[in-house]
């Protein structure tokens, strides 16, 4: 299987959700059973990178995906030097709710490609509706290591997961 050039919105009729496996059951379950429902409900958007060739069922395998949603954080969770410049009401952020690569491609650079595409997507959204930062909740220590590689900093613990953030102003120079 090889991956195509562009991410596109998840489609139940076009993409084969059942064959996706990233070795993390929570993320497999999300793409297989929840992502489309969440889009239908209007609470998040999932973008997938399909394979270049269809499977026997005529659907395209999913090589990687990411999901994004608007969210907010409390000012107090930020480092004091950043917090003091912000108001006391909830601070708008983009939540990078999910990001995963099919296990066949782990270690091949596709995680990096997917993260850059997600950041680029959110940078475009930011041109229309501003947010302070991109936030991720890390499922595992390994995920934390991955995001750390790209400059995400620890924000706080959220639902027993390490929450990390990347200020939007550090994303801008990548694509501006
Ligand atoms: C985490 C995940 C997306 C990484 O994808 P990948 O394709 O294996 O990663 P890449 O090959 O693109 O690696 C990109 C860079 O991140 C680094 N990296 C990858 N995984 C890492 C880890 N666990 N810890 C630290 N660094 C990591 C690589 O060394 C590489 O660095 P380089 O560019 O300097 O060489 C993938 O392993 C995955 O889908 N895991 C299961 C789902 C998951 O945990 N998702 C996180 C959501 S909370």
CATH of the domain at 37: 3.40.630.30
| Domain extent at residue 35 | 8-175
Q: Is the pLDDT of residue 176 over 80?
A: no
> For the chain, how many helices (H) and strands (E)?
6, 8
Render pLDDT for 66-79 as a digit per residue (tens, 0 to 9): 999 999 999 999 99
Any domain includes 2? no
Instruction: Please tell me the residue having the least CA distance from ligand 1 atom 6.
Output: 111
Atom of ligand 1 nearest to the CA of 108: 11
Please report, for residues 30, 94, 127, 174, the alpha-carbon distance to residue 61 in angstroms, rounded to integers and kept in the order given. 16, 27, 32, 30
Q: What is the pLDDT of residue 101?
A: 98
Distance CA 170, CA 44 (A): 23
Residues of the chain above pLDDT 70, percent: 100
Identify the DSSP state of 75.
G
Instruction: Please tell me the residue having the least CA distance from ligand 1 atom 7.
Output: 111
Q: What is the pTM of this model?
A: 0.96
72's tokens: 């907010």
Instruction: Please tell me the residue having the least CA distance from ligand 1 atom 1.
Output: 143
Any domain includes 131? yes
Closest CA to 66 of 19, 105, 8: 8
Any domain includes 1? no
Instruction: Please tell me the residue having the least CA distance from ligand 1 atom 24.
Output: 145
Any domain includes 79? yes
Please report, for residues 19, 58, 62, 156, the alpha-carbon distance to residue 55 in angstroms, rounded to integers and kept in the order given. 10, 5, 11, 42
Rounded to the nearest integer, the mean pLDDT of the chain is 96
Stretch 135-156: mean pLDDT: 96
Any domain includes 41? yes
55 C-alpha to center of ligand 1: Å? 26
Q: Is the pLDDT of residue 30 over 80?
A: yes
Render pLDDT for 114-137 as a digit per residue (tens, 0 to 9): 999 999 999 999 999 999 999 999
Instruction: Please tell me the residue having the least CA distance from ligand 1 atom 47.
Output: 99
Q: Any residues with Cβ below 6 Å from ligand 1, and which?
A: 22-24, 27, 99-101, 105-112, 138-140, 142-143, 145-146, 149
Any domain includes 42? yes
Stretch 90-96: mean pLDDT: 98
106 C-alpha to center of ligand 1: Å? 7
> How many domains does the chain contain in total?
1
Closest CA to 40 of 65, 11, 20, 66: 11
Phi-psi region of 44 (alpha: psi -120 to 50; beta: other; left: phi over 0): beta
| Strand stretches in the chain, DSSP E | 8-9, 15-16, 45-50, 60-73, 91-101, 133-138, 153-158, 161-167
Quick check: 93 and 134 in contact, CB under 8 A? yes
Closest CA to 117 of 1, 7, 5, 40: 7
Instruction: Please tell me the residue having the least CA distance from ligand 1 atom 19.
Output: 146
Q: What is the pLDDT of residue 1?
A: 82
Q: Is the pLDDT of residue 48 over 90?
A: yes
Render pLDDT for 1-17 as a digit per residue (tens, 0 to 9): 899 999 999 999 999 99
Q: Is the pLDDT of residue 40 over 80?
A: yes
89 C-alpha to center of ligand 1: Å? 34
Q: What is the pLDDT of residue 39?
A: 98
DSSP H or E segment with residue 82: helix 80-83
């Amino acid at each position: 299987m090889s991956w195509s050039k562009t991410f596109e919105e998840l489609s139940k009729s076009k993409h084969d959700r059942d064959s996706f496996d990233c070795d993390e059951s929570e993320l497999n379950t999300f793409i297989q059973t929840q992502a489309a429902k969440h889009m239908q409900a209007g609470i998040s958007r999932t973008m997938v990178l399909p394979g270049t060739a269809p499977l026997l069922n005529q659907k395209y395998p999913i090589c990687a995906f990411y999901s994004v949603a608007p969210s907010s954080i409390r000012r107090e969770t930020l480092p004091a030097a950043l917090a003091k410049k912000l108001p006391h009401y909830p601070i708008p952020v983009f939540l990078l709710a999910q990001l995963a690569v099919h296990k066949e491609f782990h270690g091949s650079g596709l995680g990096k490609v997917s993260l850059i595409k997600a950041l680029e997507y959110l940078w475009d959204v930011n041109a229309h509706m501003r947010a302070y930062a991109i936030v991720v909740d890390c499922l595992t220590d390994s995920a934390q290591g991955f995001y750390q590689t790209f400059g995400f900093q620890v924000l706080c613990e959220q639902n027993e997961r390490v929450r990390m953030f990347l200020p939007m102003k550090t994303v801008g120079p990548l694509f501006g």
